[in-house]
């Protein structure tokens, strides 16, 4: 079954040894979905700082970058990037700058919504952790009780809502990467890829590698892990590996459908992936929704606990 994971490791929280050195750059989850308020917009979200205020800080790193990467042609190489850099906290807030493909795009302060002249909205702040999952049941050999381990926890998050036309084509790939002093630190596309499918000895390497190299670097071990989970169905394991790697969250921004089309906040990605990876052997962890409701409007995440 699934390999043992640390006390917080789930979608991508604390997914490898090195990311535990700085929660501010440890990516928990990413989301991409058509705006429920305006079908002409797309929402991109990244959360960091697992258990912010308990095991991690509540601010963003002043020494790192937060990169929202967009692949426009299916080669798993970034054609467009929104890069966030933060200054040190002063008087309870951090100022930040956003660059789009190297050019200044926006600036603002944490806790405040920024609206650009081009119609984009940005908000970076502390929020309630939107991830929901029976982690303890998962670690206990799939003995799920429906207890949401992440209820009551907080994360830091960056929310970017932009016109779909800014991304180019409707069908794009999205992943987030963090760097520390210019050095790759963590990355994430689809939920739980590194956590579940990559071996313990390769997790750090996965985080600093480029998505385009995933099939060559990690395809064999991902297929082997899936075959272990699904009872030895190697053909299905190979087919799923070809879908899951490169680790890029693909989304059709013209569609309001959820996971595997991007990822919405309400999507029960754990049930979907359990069912997929085990060939229907395990279909649910018993946690079907977040512990609090998500707001219907921007920035879509719930207030922190």
Tell me the pLDDT tens digit for each residue of 242-258.
999 999 999 999 999 99
Q: Please say whether the dihedral angle defined by the alpha carbons of residues 191, 193, 199 and 200, taken in this order, is positive or negative.
A: negative
pLDDT at 142 (0 to 100): 86
CA distance between the termini of the chain: 33
Confidence band for 259, pLDDT divided at 50, 70 and 90: very high
**DSSP 8-state assignment for residue 61:** -
pLDDT beyond 80 at 180: yes
- Express each pLDDT in 80-97 by its tens digit: 999 999 999 999 999 999
Average confidence (pLDDT) over 28-38: 97
Where are the chain's structural domains? Answer: 18-277
Average confidence (pLDDT) over 53-61: 95
pLDDT beyond 60 at 14: no
Confidence band for 12, pLDDT divided at 50, 70 and 90: low
Confidence band for 129, pLDDT divided at 50, 70 and 90: very high
Confidence band for 7, pLDDT divided at 50, 70 and 90: very low
Q: Say how many C-beta atoms besides its own lie within 10 A of residue 39's C-beta.
A: 13
Give the mean pLDDT of the chain: 93
The residues that bridge with 173 in the sheet, in sequence order, are 71, 250
Confidence band for 191, pLDDT divided at 50, 70 and 90: very high
| Tokens, residue 161 | 């809502």
DSSP, residue by residue, 76-109: SS-SEEEEEEEPPPBTTB-EEEEEETTEEEEEEE
- Express each pLDDT in 138-172 by its tens digit: 888 889 999 999 999 999 999 999 999 999 999 99
**pTM exceeding 0.85:** yes
Q: Please say whether the dihedral angle defined by the alpha carbons of residues 168, 156, 275 and 230, taken in this order, is positive or negative.
A: positive
> Alpha-carbon distance 203 to 214, whole Å?
12
- Express each pLDDT in 40-49 by its tens digit: 999 999 999 9
pLDDT at 223 (0 to 100): 98
User: In 3-state terms, the chain is what percent helix, strand and coil (to 5)?
Assistant: 25, 30, 50
pLDDT at 3 (0 to 100): 30
């Amino acid at each position: 079954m699934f390999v043992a994971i640390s006390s917080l490791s789930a979608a991508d929280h604390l997914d490898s040894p090195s990311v535990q050195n700085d929660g501010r750059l440890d990516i928990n989850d990413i989301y991409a979905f058509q705006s429920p308020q305006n079908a002409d917009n797309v929402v991109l979200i990244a959360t960091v700082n697992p258990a912010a205020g308990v095991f991690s800080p509540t601010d963003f790193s002043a020494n790192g970058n937060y990169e929202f990467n967009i692949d426009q042609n299916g080669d798993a190489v970034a054609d467009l990037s929104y890069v966030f850099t933060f200054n040190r906290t002063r008087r309870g807030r951090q100022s930040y700058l956003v660059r789009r493909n190297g050019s200044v795009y926006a600036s603002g302060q944490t806790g405040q919504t920024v609206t650009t002249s081009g119609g984009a909205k940005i908000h970076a702040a502390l929020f309630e952790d939107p991830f929901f999952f029976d982690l303890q049941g998962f670690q206990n050999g799939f003995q799920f009780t429906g207890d949401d381990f992440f209820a009551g926890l907080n994360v830091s998050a960056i929310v970017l809502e932009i016109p779909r036309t800014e991304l180019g084509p409707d069908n794009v790939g999205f992943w987030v990467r963090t760097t520390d002093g210019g050095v790759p630190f963590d990355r994430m596309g689809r939920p739980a890829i590194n956590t579940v499918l990559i071996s313990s000895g390769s997790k750090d390497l996965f985080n600093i590698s480029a998505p385009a190299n995933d099939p060559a670097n990690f395809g064999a071990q991902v297929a082997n892990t899936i075959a272990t989970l699904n009872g030895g169905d190697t053909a299905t394991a190979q087919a799923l590996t070809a879908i899951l790697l490169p680790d890029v969250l693909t989304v059709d921004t013209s569609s309001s459908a959820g996971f595997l089309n991007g990822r919405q906040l309400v999507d029960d990605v754990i049930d979907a992936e359990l069912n997929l990876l085990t060939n229907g052997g395990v279909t649910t962890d018993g946690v079907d929704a977040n512990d609090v409701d998500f707001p219907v409007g921007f920035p879509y995440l719930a207030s922190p606990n």
